Amino acid sequence: MCPLKVKMMQYNHKDIEEYWQKYWAENKTFKSKNPPPLGELEGAPKYYVLDMFPYPSGSGLHVGHPLGYIASDIYARYKRHKGFNVLHPQGYDSFGLPAEQYAIQTGQHPAQTTEENIKTYRKQLDKIGFSFDWDREVRTSNPEYYKWTQWIFIQLFNSWYNKDSNKAEDISTLISLFEKQGNAKINAVCDENILSFSAEEWHQFSDSKKQAVLLQYRLTFLSDTEVNWCPALGTVLANDEIINGVSERGGHPVIRKKMTQWSMRISAYAQRLLDGLSTIDWPQPLKDSQTNWIGRSQGAMVEFPILSFPKGEENTSKGYLTGGNNAHLLQEKAKEMRANPTQAEAILWQQLRGKGLGYKFRQQHLIDDFIADFVCLSKKLIIEVDGKIHDFQQEKYAERTQILENLGYKVIRFTNEEVIGNLDKVLETIKLNLDQAPLSFGKGLGDRISVFTTRPDTIFGVSFMTLAPEHELVSKITTDEQKAAVKNYIEVTAKRSERERMADVKTVSGVFTGGYAEHPFTKKPIPIWIGDYVLAGYGTGAVMAVPCGDQRDYNFAKQFGIEIPNIFENLDISEAAHADKEGTVIANSDFLSGLSYKKALQKAIESLEENGFGYGKVNYRLRDAVFSRQRYWGEPFPVYYKDGMPQMIDEKYVPIVLPEVEKYLPTEDGKPPLGNAEVWAWCTKTNSIVDNSKIDNTTVFSLELNTMPGWAGSSWYFNRYMDAKNPTEFASKEALNYWKEVDLYIGGSEHATGHLLYARFWQKFLFDRGFVPVEEFAKKLINQGMILGESAFVYSWNYNNLDNPPNKKTIFISKNIIQKSISEKSILVNGNKDIDDLSFGIKILISNTEWSHFNPIHVDVSLVNSSDELDIEGFKNWRPEYKDAEFILENGVYKVGREVEKMSKSKYNVVNPDDIVAEYGADALRLFEMFLGPLEQTKPWKTSGISGVYSFLKKLWKLYHSGENGTFYVDNSPLLEGLGEALKVLHKTIKKVEEDIENFSFNTSVSTFMIAVNELTALQCNKSSILEPLLILLSPYAPHITEELWSKLGHTTSISTAEFPKFEPKYLVESTKIYPISFNGKMRFTIELSLDLSKEEIEKEVMSNEKTIAQLEGKTPKNVIIVPGKIVNIVG
């Protein structure tokens, strides 16, 4: 017989898979149309299946990576069988750190290494037989792609968040509001400490001043922010890129540093990101961690005026400069006003200057973002004189007063007429107010401490305050006596690393500053402490400590002997704080006494607001996201700088293509790598990138040197796939409206707070601006579990640690010998001939064997077979330092130890899918990955198990090759008679597989296929009416073998769009049931009975059965439970 023919008759995965992969690629079998043209899939519903964007790393895939891809591919193929128009694309998140690190080390352009990595990656993917539409491939590092990333950035820059309409709007709507009414009434998400201005003022602002103001409102903005600077990587990192205080990539230390950075105003969307979670079908743990990350807490801001002020320090440290963040913009104005006082102002100033009333006054002084006419800082008293010079501010007096009062100032106001006409009365009033001013504890600093609290109901329980050591007020309020202690404490805490601080949460530490604040209600002085349990980065970096209601405050108070007032009715707080809210009744709290937690909370906030001590506030943990990276391999910003202000390049001229540089490192003067570029300037005349030498700051300007972070490109890619090659839009309206959103998104849970939060943010933004039709980009999301590796170990005997090692040779002892010796509590050498033969052994071993006598060494799993036997020669070649080692064998082989660990190169437990495909085929790999267990679960990989699915495929092949000598044969006769059993098997399988796929329970459907093939083999079924539908069921899982058999059945087109078989319940109708007969709930035997029988008839049958009689031993049962079709239980 011709050997080739024999080969063809057997299941040959290699030929089959190569053939069909080529066929799919050539015929573009999986190309998706948007929307499908008439006649083709007409009226078919759409379905969008997406895998999380892969970064093409240089080390390639291991078997854990394709798990999610296989699951999504099965689902995509299933949906095609179900008649859907399926979009199932793939691409690369190809900007990123590893390529750049590699470039720094080798000088190779990151684009080049990225290209190579993608090739490897693609080759690996192709071998697994995915049904991707590769015509839609995208790469974030392609200018045709990042053109649109830059475009979105421009849209963000040109947008602000209107809290009234609760959405992002074009910046032009903000400008027109400014022009009409100034900014007082604008309810926007913006920077804190915004300069207040009128429409007139706005018109008077210079262009750059206008730009500066607008920047405070834009959704992406430039600001000096505390960033996480990683010196080792030479870049800033986002919060989610830091794990345990070190960088996620590389594990380098991270420090806090102030830098000018682009930021994204994601905080504008905090509430909507939270609310949106209830509308999407995502795993609860993922939603929980987003909820957690956003960290909404409802409470109140409370202001505590600072009382004490150390002697002799009143005027040092520029304490009199009380201007806000925009002080530099107002200084000029204030100077001008000082030089040109009104008549009334001049008169009054004559009286107030030089401590005329006993206190120092300042004129035309900046308070936050306002210019106060006269102010006594030590008494926090502001005197305003209404005059013509203030006309442009008049309409906003009320707001202005409110804000100043919130800052702790008292504002009194006189008209010009009062000052000029009745100066004595005016001075009288001022004196009265100076005497009444609330500051009783020495002279006031003119400052206050704001705290955020979720428990304003416990405000009467405050007995101290704690500031973060980094708090800016610490140096100002610390008294001379405490100065040394405070300084020392700050130094010590600054030195403690994040890690230490986290590891040690038990130790209570802190120092008294010597300063006091005033309780807003009781007016009692409250000592101000610093302590490192208060975080500078959360809330205001200060807490009002309520020791009776918060355990940390309690511990702190106990530690330092601070009073712990009890403000809870009938609750003992002698041992611990009472943090529970429910059922708590407030006591000893003035107007809050006797109220429940909820009522007290409400009343406290009302009272704070009435008295101007604070206001109700919702606080979010979510910070605005830093968007600049000091890296080369990322999207350049479409930004140049004119007079220090950022300017957007018009969207007509993007992409701004990444320039060539000689070195990928930061420049010598510390600029980002783009600082090395020689052609990196923007000419506003030609609208092109020109040589740096042409920079003249009139028409040619320098371009932004930072690049965008890794999450920029991945925050919108799912939209690009809908229309991947569109040169004029990021995706056409038609495509966006057709595909709308991802229906199924599969990926790892590690993206919970990074990619998935930012992508939702951008999608909401694009939705607000009308660019996309849906607010959430992914309807359903599944996290696939991790696949763990099975590490292998050899055990080297560390007898060298013992006295007088006779021999330097390494000795490896087979695992079970050690195991046996340990379990028998014996000395290793006894009774083992091999070891006894090593002449040195006996002398040195005196103690019983323990695992600690051995060093486990990782061995490459490829050197171990499925029975855990080591390839000793292979091992010696792999690790030449052990080429002379001795191996003590058991039954002639060396058995390794096994342990389940994360798959990683360093543990030598990585299994490459290419090897699996070569040996067993892609279909076997796909089936096995699914068979391992539930998709979402973490599970160990064990290559030996793959033989199960491989023999399943061979059995399946055989079903279709029942001809002579295993040739292909199926019976095409249409007669259905006598097929009862086979039809039952088929329809049972259809039902189960369909249910399983819909529930993403892929492991159980693989079992179902195995059962079906086992049963059909037993039935010797060769009918095409059974075997053909079976192929369609299986084809999503094992597409190659099913295509092959499908074509052998005579089909000339791909199986991929064959209609999924319809489940017919009629074939599963049974006439009898094998009833389990239980006695007291324990099954004893079964009886086959007709399903037509009534309860009474069943009971009669069962009770008369001889087995029942034997089981009862003559006793009469108390009760007989009969559930027809299910069970019989006899209770005795």
In the list 195, 648, 752, 910, the residue contacting RNA (rule: CB under 7 A) is 752
Per CB under 7 A, contacts with RNA among 799-858 are none
Inter-axis angle of helices 1002-1018 and 946-959, nearest 10: 40
Residue nearer to RNA on the CB measure, 1 or 1074: 1074
* Residue among 779, 809, 876, 1084 that touches RNA (CB under 7 A): 1084
Residues 225-244 contacting RNA, CB under 7 A: 240, 243-244
Question: Binding of RNA at residue 1117 (CB under 7 A)?
Answer: no
> Does the bond joining 35 to the residue before it have cis omega, within 30 degrees of 0?
yes
Q: Segment contacting RNA (CB under 7 A): 164-172, 700-708, 748-756, 1049-1057?
A: 748-756
Give the residues across from 969 on adjacent strands. Answer: 961
When asked if residue 616 is in the footprint of RNA (CB under 7 A), the reply is no
Restricting to residues 461-500, which ones interact with RNA according to CB under 7 A? 468
Shortest distance, position 297 Cβ to RNA, whole Å:
4
By CB under 7 A, residue 1086 contacts RNA: yes
Q: Tell me how far, at minimum, the Cβ of 530 lies from RNA, in Å.
A: 12
Report phi then psi at 2, rounded to 5.
-65, 125
d(CA 448, CA 303): 6
Query: Which residue number, 949 or 1031, has a Cβ lying nearer to RNA?
Result: 949
Nearer to RNA among residue 176 and residue 951 (C-beta): 951
Task: Please say which residue, 88 or 939, places its beta carbon nearer to RNA.
Answer: 939
CA–CA distance, 478 with 470 (Å, rounded to integer):
13
Least Å from the CB of residue 437 to RNA? 29
Q: Is residue 1111 at the binding interface for RNA, with CB under 7 A as the rule? A: yes
d(CA 941, CA 932): 8
107 versus 285: smaller Cβ distance to RNA: 285
Rule CB under 7 A: say whether 621 interacts with RNA: yes
Q: Does 1103 bind RNA (CB under 7 A)?
A: no
Q: Which residues of 173-200 are buried (b: 16+ CB within 10 A; e: fewer)?
A: ebbebbeeebbbebebbbbeebbbbbbe
d(CA 784, CA 936): 4
- Contact present, 1075 and 1093 (Cβ < 8 Å): no
| Binding segment (CB under 7 A) for RNA, from list 227-235, 256-264, 513-521, 1074-1082 | 1074-1082
1106 binds RNA (CB under 7 A): no
Tell me whether residue 772 or residue 782 sits nearer to RNA (CB atom): 782
Q: CB nearer to RNA: give 508 or 827.
A: 508
Q: Residue 1087 and residue 572: Cα distance in Å, rounded?
A: 65
Contacts of 765 (CB under 8 A, 6+ apart): 155, 156, 159, 168, 219, 269
By CB under 7 A, is residue 259 in contact with RNA? no
> Taking contact as CB under 7 A, which single stretch among the options 336-344, 446-454, 1039-1047, 1048-1056 is the one that binds RNA?
446-454
Give me the least distance between CB of 934 and RNA, in Å please: 5
Beta strands at 542-545 and 778-783: parallel, antiparallel or unpaired: unpaired
Name, in order, each residue with C-beta under 8 angstroms of 1078's C-beta and a sequence gap of 6 or more: 1084, 1127, 1128, 1129, 1130
Span interacting with RNA, options 48-56, 210-218, 289-297, 337-345, rule CB under 7 A: 289-297
DSSP letter (8 states) at residue 38: T
Sequence-distant (6+) residues with CB within 8 A of 290 are 273, 274, 277, 752, 753, 756, 757
Cis peptide bond upstream of 655, omega within 30: yes
User: How many chain residues interact with RNA (CB under 7 A)?
Assistant: 85
For residue 983, count other CB atoms closer than 10 A to its CB: 19
Considering only residues 292 to 311 of the shown chain, the ones binding RNA according to CB under 7 A are 292, 295, 297, 299
- Judged by beta carbon, residue 372 or residue 927, the one nearer RNA is 927
Q: Which stretch binds RNA (CB under 7 A): 59-67, 452-460, 481-489, 692-700?
A: 452-460
Non-local CB neighbours of 927 within 8 Å, separated by 6+ positions: 949, 952, 953, 1006, 1009, 1037, 1038
Least CB distance to RNA at residue 470 (A): 11
Alpha-carbon separation of residue 898 from 324, 798, 868, 895, 901 (angstroms): 64, 20, 8, 10, 10
Q: Which stretch binds RNA (CB under 7 A): 23-31, 658-666, 704-712, 1078-1086?
A: 1078-1086
Site string for RNA, 1012-1031 (x = CB under 7 A): --x-----------------
Using CB under 7 A, which residues numbered 198 to 217 contact RNA?
none
**Among residues 848, 1080, 1090, 1094, which is the contact residue for RNA, using CB under 7 A?**
1080
68 interacts with RNA by CB under 7 A:
no
Q: Least Å distance between CB 12 and RNA?
A: 13
Q: Residue 271 CB, nearest distance to RNA (Å)? A: 16
Which 515-554 residues touch RNA, going by CB under 7 A? 532-535, 537-539, 541, 543-544, 550, 552
Which residue number, 143 or 934, has a Cβ lying nearer to RNA?
A: 934
- Show contacts with RNA in window 941-960 (CB under 7 A): 942, 944-945, 947-952, 954-955
Strands 787-797 and 939-940, by their bridges, are parallel
Which listed residue (217, 633, 931, 1060) binds RNA by CB under 7 A?
Answer: 931
Whether the CB-CB separation of 293 and 623 falls below 8 Å is answered with: no
Other CB atoms within 10 A of residue 867 CB:
8
Residue 934 binds to RNA (criterion: CB under 7 A): yes
443 vs 1084 by CB, closer to RNA: 1084
Structure tokens at 654: 């993007």
Q: Rounded to an integer, what distance in angstroms lies between the CA atom of residue 413 and that of residue 427?
A: 12
Find out whether 649 and 640 touch, Cβ atoms under 8 Å: yes
- Which residue is it, tokens 């000598």? 965
First to last CA, the chain: 70
Q: Which is nearer to RNA, 647 or 819 (CB)?
A: 819
Instruction: Note whether 1091 binds RNA by CB under 7 A.
Output: no
Which of 152/932 has CB closer to RNA?
932
Q: How far is the CB of 543 from RNA (least distance, A)?
A: 4
Q: What residues contact residue 1043 under an 8 Å CB cut-off, 6+ apart?
A: 16, 20, 23, 1035, 1054, 1055, 1056
1085 lies in the site for RNA, by CB under 7 A: yes
Nearer to RNA, 143 or 1117 (CB): 1117
Taking the complex as a whole, how short is the minimal distance between the CB of residue 165 and RNA, in angstroms? 29
Contact 75, 744 (CB under 8 A): yes
Q: Which is nearer to RNA, 409 or 1075 (CB)?
A: 1075
**Binding residue (CB under 7 A) for RNA from 208, 475, 1007, 1053:** 1007
Contact with RNA (CB under 7 A) among 404, 658, 818, 1010 = 1010
Rounded distance between C-alpha atoms, residue 954 and residue 944, angstroms = 17
Query: Helices in 936-1073 by DSSP H: which ranges?
Result: 946-959, 980-998, 1002-1018, 1024-1034, 1039-1048
3-state helix, strand, coil in the chain (%, to 5): 40, 20, 40
Using CA atoms, how far apart are residues 256 and 541, in angstroms rounded to an integer?
15
Q: Which is nearer to RNA, 817 or 828 (CB)?
A: 817
Cβ–Cβ under 8 Å, residues 466 and 315 = no
Residue 14 touches RNA, criterion: CB under 7 A: no
**Segment contacting RNA by CB under 7 A, of 17-25, 151-159, 287-295, 416-424:** 287-295
Under the binding rule (CB under 7 A), the answer on residue 933 touching RNA is yes
Backbone angles phi, psi at 188, to 5 degrees: -130, 160
**Min separation Cβ 750 and RNA, Å:** 7
Contacts to RNA from residues 498-517, by CB under 7 A: 501-502, 504-505
